[in-house]
Chains A and B, each alone.
Chain A
C-alpha cells in the first residue's frame, strides 16, 4: 500500500529496503535500496544514497542515485548530484559539477 498525500521524510540515519511508494511529496536524506515511486515531487538531499529505480512527477537531486531516473516533468540536478543510470524527463536542469553516467532522453514522458 502507498503512503498518503502527506509529506514523507526519510532522514539521515535510517535505511529503507523494498518498494517505497507514495502519493505525496518525498524528501530523502538517508539510504534507500529497492524502488522509489511518488506521484508528487521528490527531493534527494546531499547525504542520500539511493540504489533504486526512481519515479516521480518532479525531482530535485543533490545526492547519489544508482538506478534509472524517470521523471514526468522537471528534473533538477544540483552540483553535488551523482547519477549512475539512465535519465528520462521532460525538462532538465543541470548544475555545473553534476555527474550523469547514463543515457539521457527528454521529451514527453509516459507514465
Chain B
C-alpha cells in the first residue's frame, strides 16, 4: 500500500498538469495510493504515523528535499519504504538516489529497487544528505576523542549522502556507517601570501559542535540555530527506493 505525501509547493498551479500526468501514470502502473496533502497547521508526522498504523508499506514524498526531511523521522527504523517524486527546486537527494524529476520518477517507483541507508542525526532530528555550516570557527569534537579547530573561519560540511558529481567530488557512501566530515579553510601560502583552500576530510561517527555565540547550520535544507549541536549516525535505518543512476 502506497501513501503519497504532497508538499505545500504542489498546490502551486504550475504543477497541476504534471501532477495529473503523474497520478494517471501511477494508476497505470498499479501503484496509486492514498494522497495526504501537507498544509499549514497540519502535523505531517502525525498523519504519516497514522498511515503507518493502518498498514501502508511505502511513503512517497512528492516535492523536494524538505518534503523528505519532514517525514524521515517517522519512517526511520520501520519497514516502511521511502520513495520520492521530485517536483520543483532543491532535489539534491533525488538526484543522488538516481530518481529523475517529475513524471519519469513513477517508473523508478514501479521498478522498486530498495536500498537500506544510514541516517544522520543532529540534536535528535534526522537528515539524509548533509549538514553545512558556512563561516565555521567553533570547536568540533570528533568521536569523543579529539578536537579540531580551524585557524580561520571555514566551511564545514558533514555528509551522510552528498557530494557534487559535476565537480568530480567523491560521493559519500550512505551505507558505511560514517559521516564524511569536510572542513575547507582558506590558507595563505608562499611569500606572496596567495590564498588557497585546504580541505580536511575525516570519516566520523559522532561529532559535537560547541560555539560561544549562536551559529546557523543547514541540515537537508532546514536551518537550525544554536550554540550546541550533537551529531551522530544511525546505520541502516531508512529503506529507500533508488534508480539505476544512483550516485553511490
Asked if A19 CB lies within 8 Å of chain B CBs, one says yes
Question: In the assembled complex, which residues on chain A have CB atoms less than 8 Å from the CB atom of B187?
Answer: 12-13
Report which A residues bind B (CB closer than 8 A). 1-4, 6-21, 24, 29-30, 34
Q: Are B143's CB and A13's CB within 8 A?
A: no
Task: Pick the contact of B151: A15, A29, A34 (CB < 8 A).
Answer: A15
Least Cβ–Cβ distance between B181 and chain A, in angstroms:
10
3 closest Cβ contacts across the A-B interface?
A18-B146, A13-B185, A11-B198
Question: In the assembled complex, which residues on chain B have CB atoms less than 8 Å from the CB atom of A3?
Answer: 143, 202-204
Least Cβ–Cβ distance between A46 and chain B, in angstroms:
11
- 9 A-B residue pairings within 8 Å (CB atoms): A2-B143, A6-B180, A9-B200, A13-B187, A13-B198, A14-B149, A14-B154, A18-B145, A30-B198
Q: Are B201's CB and A13's CB within 8 A?
A: no
Asked if B176 CB lies within 8 Å of chain A CBs, one says yes
Question: In the assembled complex, which residues on chain A have CB atoms less than 8 Å from the CB atom of B198?
Answer: 11-14, 29-30
Report which B residues bind A (CB closer than 8 A). 143-152, 154, 176-178, 180, 183, 185-187, 189, 198-206
Q: Are B148's CB and A14's CB within 8 A?
A: yes
**Nearest B residue to A32 by beta-carbon distance?**
B146
Q: Are A4's CB and B178's CB within 8 A?
A: yes
Question: In the assembled complex, which residues on chain A have CB atoms less than 8 Å from the CB atom of B145?
Answer: 1, 18-21
**Nearest B residue to A26 by beta-carbon distance?**
B202
Q: Are B176's CB and A4's CB within 8 A?
A: yes
Given A1-B206, A3-B203, A3-B204, answer yes or no on A14-B143 (Cβ-Cβ < 8 Å): no
